[in-house]
Structure 1
């Protein structure tokens, strides 16, 4: 089984994705044979690219603008003959095709979507809502779906299921259950696709013609995105393009593919040639979102009667899982930090304001006017201090009410203590310095540690005595001055258990960084420097961002204060940029390690170039599969096996984003004595070598 999995690890279908396509063919009005040839050519291209489904525009075999020609028998017969060509072609193509055409049934004419695969007509879906306003006159030629009296229809010598309440499910990919509606159906208050989603459809397809008007493209995009978000589904939207009659309308061929409110792909408008739009839809993500959002199940129950009207049609189609198929989807290297500058600035503004507002509320409700904070000259405490400064400004309190202390120990470097001093000065807080070495030596002597006797033994006790002394000082200072202690530990440290139990990076009266990961904190500090949000010097903030991350608890080669620290955090727990990636997809979506690794390879693999979100370094770090697997193993063991007890008693702190928090009162409740066995076992299914099983 492991070897079999290794062979298909690099195929997107193995990890719950489905490649889908939306086609916009060049067509001719009332020329079904020509239109069928264009349809088949695009279907072949979609199949060659590994797509499992391709959707074509509304009435694409005849053209939408045939008007009263729709009632001509010659055109109707020609459309059926064109469909027969497509059905025959589907017998040798491993892809589902959805085409639009007029269909006759019981003396009525319907505007339909026909689903074809494997040489069979799997179903025919009539349009439910016919626009008859403005430039549209569909009720003149067609009847709506609820006028149908038959549940089957004869086409091309086959009997096919007929009705608006049909769902199609791929036997080889059960998470891909799709529903088809047509143009106007999605513009009504309750689209048919809403009930289809409650009946289990994860992919919603819309065959549309939708003419071009000023401002309409933006509205269409919003409409499709919102429907995909409301239904927690993928939504494929086609549109008529070049070749439709321009007697009274123009056509832009806008096609869209959205997933749970996110625009995955959008075609160019007013393109002259036939073209395809592809996207890899994450079906597992949709399924897990529905599972997590329990009100979705409540909606299913409330509308069970409507959902029960749907019939599921099985689609027997083989997937191309035996060959590598790379992900055709952009995967952000930094899921907590948008790469788009505008979205990134918006994210930073919002996160920062959430942190500030939460602290303002805590101070106001507690009646406290002062805070105590330890400032190390490193990243986390810097950002927490910046939040405190802005909170004091909003409360109209002097920044001197921030009682900031830097507390150098045995391994504190000259760089970090200098940065701490400069930062406190530019913030304008009450700054003080406490050398914790005497109290640490006393503690070590009291407990009989060899260091107190002159031996250079730097064990975990030696480290934690320093961390504990700092925390003890901060809490007693808070007692003395009537203040609360502000925590500085971040989400990444909490996920990896990289925090000493009961001390400053774990315990406080209120922790403003509790749900902010390290990669985001790094950019927040950089953003504050660029925007001057609290008036702090950009120079010192940039120096802090560039400082090597270290607990600075064990002396380096020089020994003593001022020596280079012997510890580099990321040498022990792995690079934060990769571990934050692992955290996001494990915490937010509950993906298996194999899928997390697949996504990480798509984002960080050496075949991809990328940059840190601030635009620096067009080529930055890259990781092969071996490195990804190794660091993911570190993450999984620490996250699931060794660190939960530290998360079960964390202090209050604001949740800032949908990426999740680890508070037991928020997103994450887990036993402290859980095993990591199942995650480590899944990790071992990942190919060992950087190139094993890969294209």
Structure 2
């Protein structure tokens, strides 16, 4: 009976970290040898990392990746290893899997379908390979088979679908592999994290194992590889329509290896994997890992946060604390501190709150318009986490700026006439001093913008947008508000009690005005509903109105007003989105013009389209 000991290994790689990437691959290979694995498969572009961007356009970069493939080759004695790398052939670049065995390259398989939607721009760098085509590739003077190949190990035929290949329905390579009697299909992937996406992958892998009449092995990259995209390191194995293995996702480890005993003639005896998915938990785990990788890969000393006591900054403070907790739980304190380059100045015997205090510095920057409630909320939360907490007033700075402008204009500034300017100067006055603290701490400044604010520009450029990274800029405000309640109860962050009792407010107008975010904009749940139609589904104002009129219990005139406000503010504030700090991709879509949604900075602002919507009869 044919029998094969196979394994999949996820990797946390970094573009241009050639030696670090090679070391991680070597550690995984060594682990596979210790477990007596016959065949080990790594993810897509595992040598370079997926997030190499326009480095792929150069000639030297793929050539160097090939040189590192040669360095790994000696490690494949009595072992088959499948590695992802870019290969240039006839001046075209291909996204490939190289199959190494007993110190030889058996063949190279290029990807047939490229990911070109959402956050993916693979057509900018790579060329898709045509099904059925075969040629030769010159690898250091050795002619290596290149193209639509299948392989055999211990009497078992295996082949590849590389990430996007599997999502192309009837066109996918898997059906041709089925016709070629392949019994085992590997799917090495670089599939970005998004809440709810793991459930979609489980369905794909399970159904593929049945429809393709082959065991199906999915192996994804891991971690915040290069700044924005997060990979969850998912490894899935299914046979005969049943998922048999799934690893813990979003690990802080450099790699995870899942070994499996496989025989195509032996039905699996173990029960199938029971799927469990919780978007709040996925969000928490993803941002925690993303912050950890960003911190260690940037070699910064920690984080600084302007903690207002409101929902957004409080969310980020808790996520940093979760990063420390989860990192220590996964790695142990000594290794966690070593990885973030703090083992020389933080005692590994320190308590969790003490370590949080060394890594997270917060400051409450009040004005005369700040309330005692938000000060209490900020200090209570910081103290409960162990974060370093400072408090100061910026009234003197605001007064200085205001007096200079009043002298220049020859008049006093008044709220009725100068509302936006008087609000914004408070947010901007906070920025220089928090940046100063960040520089002194050699840290990363965390920006607190959320996706809802990014949609409509409800944020002060060079004020609350200031930051090195913006951890929650890809999720809407209504998600943040419910997550805070969940984190208080499920994660045990009792310091969020005061935060969750507050109504979201910028606190930039005088307190007697009772300013709230939703009064300034619209209810956040409605903003998110409009956003899904307008941005995620790319619908016009008319279509957005017609759909939401059936879904929301709102008067037609009110709904039209909200939709008009959204589209007008969206088009007016593209320049702000172009300047927001880098953010993590966390949801099914985002509004970052560098990744998911590009929009002209200057436009007609939907004037004609909004006029068409307003002219619709209210009973339509």
TM-score, scaled to structure 2: 0.50
| Bigger CA radius of gyration | 1
